[in-house]
């Protein structure tokens, strides 16, 4: 195997598990693609688990439960059994420790819907879900730190691990309109268009992802935290850090060869934009001439080939 892609998935509300959406279809497609390419394991950073102080942890509970996922039928998730990757967790811990992170295993961690909801959509048959490692965030929400976590684990992409950040592109729970979800378990009806700050930040995110590659992607994703609409789009930083983890994992000079795409999108609750991004593609190590062509349309290939090579300092 050459390189696996990296995903940044916006998981949205819990309704995304039950509702039929373009984003859900894309998650399923990514799961099928992962299985077709023989992905060895999945490494996730979610938005719902952060460690205090200077710590970071890696989930290493061999038999984790799942926290409740409100506003959906429990039948959709209660029998789906997690497949934790204990060896993968130890591997991540050793790589992160070598880079200076204060990191340890958490052998009691229970999975939360930010990760299992996406995995269920990707791998509806739990027996087919590749062994999965969950890495926590650090609650200081330092953007460079989270880019470095992704960059540190990036070499695992060459071994067939699929790295995923699951957070939100526009995700401010205080600015969502919740009435339909609370009364009717319905989140997709957009009675009014999103507000301008949500549209602006959603567009900025798409522009940054699709117009930057490699180290420039890392820097641009970090720079989005200075966008005038950032604080309205992200009331707290927790749903943005997984995007920086993904950018770190997909932001090496080697990654300049592959396009980054906005693949699907679902708006919920008027102002929450669930953009689904994929950085890179599955590449074949045995063919440098055809590197990156797998799964690329001719228009994607044109975009890739037209892109100037960039030389910038790494973030």
Is 11 or 157 the residue whose CB approaches Fe ion more closely?
11
Is 47 or 247 the residue whose CB approaches Fe ion more closely?
47
- Helical spans, DSSP H, in the chain: 15-18, 22-36, 86-98, 113-122, 143-153, 179-184, 196-211, 215-223, 230-233, 241-249, 298-306
Binding to Fe ion, residues 58-117 (CB under 5 A): 114
- Which residues touch 22 (CB under 8 Å, ≥6 apart)? 264, 265, 266
Min. distance of Cβ 239 from Fe ion in angstroms?
6
Is 242 or 292 the residue whose CB approaches Fe ion more closely?
242
SS3 171: coil
Binding to Fe ion, residues 284-303 (CB under 5 A): none
Compute φ and ψ for 23, nearest 5 degrees.
-65, -45
Q: How far apart are CA 266 and CA 12, in angstroms?
A: 8
Min. distance of Cβ 48 from Fe ion in angstroms?
6
Min. distance of Cβ 173 from Fe ion in angstroms?
8
Min. distance of Cβ 149 from Fe ion in angstroms?
18
Min. distance of Cβ 47 from Fe ion in angstroms?
5
Is 114 or 252 the residue whose CB approaches Fe ion more closely?
114
- Angle of helix 196-211 relative to helix 215-223, nearest 10 degrees, comes to 170
Is 26 or 101 the residue whose CB approaches Fe ion more closely?
26
Binding to Fe ion, residues 24-63 (CB under 5 A): 47
Point out which residues pair with 161 in neighbouring strands.
41
Min. distance of Cβ 3 from Fe ion in angstroms?
28
- What does the per-residue mask of binding to Fe ion show for 114-153, with x meaning CB under 5 A? x---------------------------------------
Is 49 or 145 the residue whose CB approaches Fe ion more closely?
49
Contacts 24+ apart (CB under 8 A), 190-196: 190/267, 190/270, 191/270, 192/270, 193/270, 194/170, 194/267, 194/270, 194/271, 194/273, 195/270, 195/271
Q: How far apart are CA 150 and CA 101, in angstroms?
A: 12
Instruction: Tell me if 100 sits within 8 A of 70, measured CB to CB.
Output: no
Min. distance of Cβ 12 from Fe ion in angstroms?
8
Instruction: Tell me if 124 sits within 8 A of 11, measured CB to CB.
Output: no
Is 49 or 80 the residue whose CB approaches Fe ion more closely?
49
Binding to Fe ion, residues 159-218 (CB under 5 A): none
Total interface residues for Fe ion by CB under 5 A: 2
Binding site for Fe ion (CB under 5 A): 47, 114
């Amino acid at each position: 195997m050459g390189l696996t892609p990296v995903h940044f998935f916006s998981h949205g509300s819990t309704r995304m598990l039950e509702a039929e959406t373009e984003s859900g279809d894309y998650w399923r497609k990514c799961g099928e693609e992962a299985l077709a390419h023989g992905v060895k394991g999945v490494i996730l950073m979610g938005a719902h688990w952060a460690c205090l102080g200077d710590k970071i942890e890696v989930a290493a509970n061999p038999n984790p439960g799942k926290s409740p996922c409100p506003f959906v039928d429990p039948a959709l998730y209660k029998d789906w059994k997690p497949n934790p990757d204990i060896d993968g967790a130890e591997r991540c811990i050793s790589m992160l420790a070598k880079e200076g992170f204060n990191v340890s295993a958490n052998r009691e961690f229970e999975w939360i819907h930010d990760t299992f909801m996406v995995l269920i959509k990707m791998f509806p048959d739990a027996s087919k879900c590749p062994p999965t490692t969950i890495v926590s965030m650090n609650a200081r929400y330092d953007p460079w730190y989270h880019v470095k976590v992704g960059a540190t684990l990036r070499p695992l992409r060459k071994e067939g691990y699929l790295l995923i950040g699951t957070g939100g592109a526009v995700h401010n729970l205080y600015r969502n309109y919740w009435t339909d979800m609370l009364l009717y378990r319905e989140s997709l009806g957009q009675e009014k268009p999103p507000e301008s700050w949500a549209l602006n930040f959603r567009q900025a995110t798409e522009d940054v992802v699709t117009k930057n590659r490699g180290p420039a992607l890392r820097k641009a994703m970090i720079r989005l935290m200075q966008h005038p609409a950032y604080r309205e789009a992200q009331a707290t930083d927790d749903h943005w850090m997984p995007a920086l983890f993904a950018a770190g994992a997909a932001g090496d000079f080697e990654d300049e060869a592959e396009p980054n795409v906005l693949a699907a999108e679902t708006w919920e609750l008027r102002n929450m934009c669930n953009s689904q991004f994929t950085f890179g593609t599955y590449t074949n190590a045995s063919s440098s001439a055809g590197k990156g062509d797998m799964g690329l349309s001719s228009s994607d290939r044109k975009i890739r080939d037209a892109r100037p090579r960039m030389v910038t300092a790494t973030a």
